[in-house]
Structures are given as structure tokens and as C-alpha cells.
Amino acid sequence: MNKRPTMSDVAALAGVHTATASRALNPSTSGLVNAATARRVRQAAEQLGFTPNSAARSLRTNRSFTVGVLLPDLTNPLFPPVVRGIEEALSPRGYTALLANTDNDEAKERTRFDALRGRQVDGFIVATAQREHPLLDQAHEAGVPIVLVNRRTDTRLFPWVAGDDATGMALAVEHLVGLGHRFIAHVSGPQTMSTGVTRAQAFRAAAESAGIGPESAPATIGEAYTVEAGERATHELLDRHPETTAICAGNDLIALGALHAVKARGLRCPEDLSLVGFNDMQFADEFQPPLTTVHVPHLDLGAEAARLLLEQLDRNEEKGAPAPMAKTVLLPVLLVVRASTAAPPAQRA
């Protein structure tokens, strides 16, 4: 049985000292090695079939080089690019992301969180935050390194990365007003989540700024960020406010549900009712009609969240104890205009 190749074997084949080979193969120190030398070491490692001993590395550094990522719903198209961004930022530092789906279930989330802590993850990137979140409060008390992505808690305990939701909703309303709409409604996301509250507040502010009073800018709440919730909330809205000529949806899945409700009522989009989504998720341009929506850079959100967590881990290691860091990063958004918005009809049946 062949002996597993060691770092010394790699160093000998590359013609360098063992310490140099170790630095060259460590993503966090490879920059300290001459590029040609590092390339020679990597080629030697590949030739020998050498893989670093992660257990030994963890013992030396007191890190597991793993990060737990809590996601509310893996089937939501919003989250794959977030995860991609996280992995792209973690990989050069030799970290691996361990994903856990919570289905927006508090008990399941706690179980997944505890299981990942049991695996000695170095920190967490959390996309499941509710405005009130006892688990995260407890994690903060325990000194667990955490970065929130997309959503946040009302108590600002952790670094947070998100798109600029307020600006995004303002852009959506301004677009509809510019087309001539004066009866614009909002189908919001759940008000237990920061995204639902921020976008709803921004909608009201933008409508008021455009001179549209509350009676002409009604809102209804979707109980979840799902197609089904969006469809139910839109039916409720149009039953109470049939004069509505445009809807700003809390996200693209709610917008898709709204589109279903519009078609079920024999209305056409955008001839009878214009529709704007939020997120610009994958395939939004394949809707019928293609969806006008606010583009949020989800890959960048994931990458920035990972960078903030790595900064936190590095600082904790240097100082020997966690330090408070409730930094907020809001990434710019933009409105992508497609075929689901147009001028309002001259009259409604």
C-alpha cells in the first residue's frame, strides 16, 4: 500500500524548503512566496496527489476553516448567487462553506445552528434573520462571529450586508409615476422581516413625495415571500381597490403571484395593470411578460458578507477576543425596465 505523500515529499520534488512548500499551499500565505516558486510547489503537489491535512492545520491555527451558512429557503432563486458569492470570497482563504436550509422554521434553524457549532465552524453567515430573533441574540451573548446578509434584526448586533432596498423601491415608484400612474399599490413581504418593513416604508415615502395620497397608494401584506402568498394578497388588494393601475411587489416571487392573480381576473399586464418586482432573480426576464424589477447584486452581497466575516475572524485572532462590529454595507441597486410596465389605460372596464 503506497504511503500518503507528505509536505516534505512535495518540498523535495519542488526543490524548496518544507516551510516554503507549506506557505505556497496555504491560501492565506501563498502571496508571501515567489509566484514561480508557488507554481512549482503546486505542480509538485498535483503530481504526487498531495492534499493538505486539514485536521493538522486546524490544530495549528485553532480554526476549522469552515463557515456555517444559514439559508431560509434553498429553492428560492435569490439564494444560489448569494452562496456563489460567499464561496468565491472564502475559497482563496482556504475556507469551505457548510450550507443549512431552515425552511423559515425556528426549531429547524436552532437545530441546524447547533449542529454547525458542533462541527466547530469558525463563524456564520446568516440569511434567515427575523426582526426579533432570540437565537441570534443568544449567539451574540456567546460571542459567536456572525454576519447577516439581506435581512437584519431590529437590534443592530452584527455586521449586515444588503441591497439598498429604500432606494430600489423609490426607483420603482418613480418609474411608474413617470409613466403616468396615479393609482399605485404595494404588495409587501412579511412585516416580521426587515426587507418587508423597509420596502413598505420606502413605498409610502416615494408615493407621498410624488403627491399620491394613501387612498391612491394602498398596501396589502403577503404573509411570505412566495408565489402563493403574492397571488392571495393581490386578489385581496384588487377586491378592495379595483382602480389600481400598477403594483410594486415586495419581491419577484410575490410579483409572479400577482401576475397569476391579474391573469385569473381576465386582466392583461401591462395593458390593464403594470407590475414591478424586486430582486431581479434568475428567469425574471422569462416571465410573460418579462418583469420590470429592481436588480439587487446578490453575488456581491454574498462575497461582501464573507469578506466581513473573514475580517472579523482575523481581528478576533489578533486581539484574542471578539470586538463589537455592527458595520452596515448597502450595495447599490438599479431598476431593470422590461415589458411588464407601461402607461396606464385610458379607462378601466
| Distance of alpha carbon 269 from alpha carbon 12, whole angstroms | 69
Residue 62 confidence (pLDDT): 61
Q: What is the mean pLDDT of residues 126-145?
A: 95
Task: Specify which residues 219 forms β-bridges with.
Answer: 186
Q: How far apart are the first and last CA of the chain?
A: 82
Sign of CA dihedral 146, 169, 130, 214: positive
Mean of per-residue pLDDT scores for the chain: 91
Whether residue 95 is predicted with pLDDT greater than 90 in this model: the reply is: yes
Whether residue 297 is predicted with pLDDT greater than 70 in this model: the reply is: yes
What global pTM score does this model have? Answer: 0.83
Whether residue 218 is predicted with pLDDT greater than 80 in this model: the reply is: yes
Higher pLDDT, 96 or 322: 96
Contact assessment for residue 277 and residue 284, using Cβ atoms and an 8 Å cutoff = yes
Residue 233 confidence (pLDDT): 98
Instruction: Assign 59 a pLDDT band (cuts: 50, 70, 90).
Output: very low
